Amino acid sequence: MLRPIEATEHVRHEILSALQSLNSPAEFRYLKRLHEENRIVPVVGDFAGSHALRELGKVLRERGETVTVFYTSNVEQYLVRNQTWGQFLDNVEQLPLDERAVFIRAYWSNRVPHPDGESGYNFTQVLQWARPFLKTVGQSRPSSYLDIVTTDTIKLR
């Protein structure tokens, strides 16, 4: 069973650094409050493993809470490479997703630029509605990381 996790000093530093880069004092205060209320939950574990995400889903359901934002960074490119992305999807489907839940992904355009990428930048932030994405990929599982980060994206500009 998961226990409340005290974020390490490193995780706290990363969260506060992200908070400091927000566009307005109101945005900073909002995310700072979420952090102080333990509503931003860093999960440490193997996304494709049999424990971390499934246990998180169990705890959230017990508390009557839902996932509204799931930030994967670029972890999925490694899951695809290791042929474990399907297990990750199975784990995500065990999470109690809010109706308006989103995935935030970071695409590293090392060799192939993202269609929505900005010239001169190596990373592209990708936003996707979680439920429609899962429905689409459930019907035909993408074969590459680029397929994942270009399926049902929300255009940010």
Indicate whether 61 belongs to any domain: no
Nearest by Cα to 18 from 34, 4, 5: 34
Across the chain, which has 157 residues, the per-10-residue mean pLDDT values are 40 53 76 82 87 93 92 90 92 95 89 87 89 87 85 84
Indicate whether 9 belongs to any domain: no
N- to C-terminal Cα separation, the chain: 41
The range of the structural domain enclosing residue 88 comes to 66-148
How many domains does the chain contain in total? Answer: 1
Indicate whether 123 belongs to any domain: yes
Model confidence over 79-101: pLDDT tens digits?
999 999 999 999 999 999 999 99
CA pair distance 66, 138, nearest whole angstrom: 21
Indicate whether 1 belongs to any domain: no
Task: Indicate whether this model's pTM tops 0.85.
Answer: no
Indicate whether 81 belongs to any domain: yes
Residue type at position 28: F
